[in-house]
Amino acid sequence: MEAPLHKRSLRLLSGLVALGLVTAACGDDKTTTDTTTTAPAGDETTTTGGGGSSDDSQISLDDLCQEAKDAGVTAPDGFTVRLVTDIGKVDDRTFNQYAYEGMQAAEECFGFDTSFIETASEADYAKNIATALDGGPDVVITVGFLLGTDTLTAAEANTETNFLGIDQFQAEFPDNYIGVLFNEDEGGYLAGVLAASLSESGTIGVVGGRQDVPPVVKLVNGYEAGAKSVNPDIRVLKIYNESFTTPDKGASDAQQFIGEGADVIFGAGGKTGSGGVAAAATQGIWGIGVDQDEYFSTFNGGQAPGADKLASSAVKRVDYAVFENILEAIKGEFTGGVFALTAANRGITYAPFHDADIPDDIAARLEETRQGLADGSIKTGIDPATGEPL
């Protein structure tokens, strides 16, 4: 049987680890409700795949489940997975939700026990991880770079439990701790190629999150690099924000950029960026989302105004990373270190175009760019450690 994807290609990021890559999450920074262990209600979500992107660009969790079942993989009796969110809920349309969906998909596939804890304050990180460890679960998932220190401490003290940290980097990982990292510059580059290809004014904008968060900088600078690969003279308007959870501010930023001639807006800052995308789309201006497929989150599956102006989203397949590493734990093959989501392993990709009328030549250029990033023939020109241009 062919080796799992992460053993075939994801470990190729080891060179970046040697360079001292440090990452940080692009998720929520708000306070919210306290601990809960019930499944979220409301949004119907779906993974990317379908019209507007090639089949090769997508990973289907259903297919991965079937492959595992065909290989005879079953969860051991009593197998248990616990998830601790960063500040926010499991239906907050950020990494918390995407990680939860990956855990949920694995639960549905293999039939084991799961629960989750929603963090209300940074002061609760260690306490919530300790609560998640009650009963000795097989896997504990923690979401966000801010949980990294407490996750490492817990992993070193609980060697019989496997830990999966989303957006977490350590100088050294114990054998029972995997950190999921991303090539955000590749996602930004794809968004930039799409934006420059769609722009008629020669001016585009990006609404970013916090500038002290390296992945945000990689998205923003990757976006500019991708746009300039299409049109070296394009004008890229950029702004960083102090919060990931202020959609009204993102909308205001987008409005300012539109006033300066921008006809495409990329949101690279959680809900703040999404506010900018929604504001643009409702005015008939192209928007490009980030992290998840915002057609299903920001635009409510096409029901919200402006859905036809969401060109695509630069997607990080956190759900795949969670599913794949739970599968490895089930098989007894969980190995500590970095699990990297990249264009090469389809962990960094773009969402379907859905209701957007994207010309065939632009769709072809976007897919050619994804393939070039995947095979290494296209480089973003962004420093993986700092997010700044090389």
pLDDT of 260-273, one tens digit each? Answer: 999 999 999 988 99
312 pLDDT above the threshold of 90: yes
Domains (range + CATH), the chain: 5-182+317-341 (3.40.50.2300), 184-316 (3.40.50.2300)
11 pLDDT above the threshold of 80: no
pLDDT the model gives residue 55: 58
pLDDT the model gives residue 145: 84
376 pLDDT above the threshold of 90: yes
Asked whether the CA dihedral 371, 376, 380, 382 is positive or negative, the reply is positive
Cα-based distances in Å from 21 to 105, 281, 386: 30, 35, 8
Q: What is the pLDDT of residues 313-331, one digit of tens each?
A: 999 999 999 999 999 999 9
Can you tell me the mean pLDDT for 207-221?
93
Q: Residue 359's closest CA among 125, 215, 199?
A: 199
Can you tell me the mean pLDDT for 20-24?
38
The rounded mean pLDDT for the chain is 88
Q: What is the pLDDT of residues 39-76, one digit of tens each?
A: 332 333 333 333 455 556 788 999 999 999 999 999 99
Q: Residue 53's closest CA among 360, 351, 361?
A: 351
pLDDT the model gives residue 56: 66
pLDDT the model gives residue 45: 35
Q: Which tokens belong to 196? A: 């420059």
Q: What is the pLDDT of residues 226-271, one digit of tens each?
A: 999 999 999 999 999 998 889 999 999 999 999 999 999 999 998 8
The more confident residue out of 7 and 343 is: 343
pLDDT the model gives residue 370: 97
pLDDT the model gives residue 111: 97
3 pLDDT above the threshold of 70: no
Q: What is the pLDDT of residues 183-204, one digit of tens each?
A: 999 999 999 999 999 999 999 9
pLDDT the model gives residue 244: 87
Q: Which tokens belong to 105? A: 């998909």
Q: Which residue do the tokens 């679960």 mark? A: 137
168, with CB counted inside 10 A (0-12, 13-18, 19+), is buried
Q: What is the pLDDT of residues 334-355, one digit of tens each?
A: 999 999 999 999 999 999 999 9
pLDDT the model gives residue 54: 53
Check if the beta carbon of residue 77 is closer than 8 Å to that of residue 71.
no
Can you tell me the mean pLDDT for 134-149?
95
pLDDT the model gives residue 33: 31
The more confident residue out of 18 and 151 is: 151
Give, as one character, the DSSP assignment of residue 389.
Answer: B
9 pLDDT above the threshold of 80: no
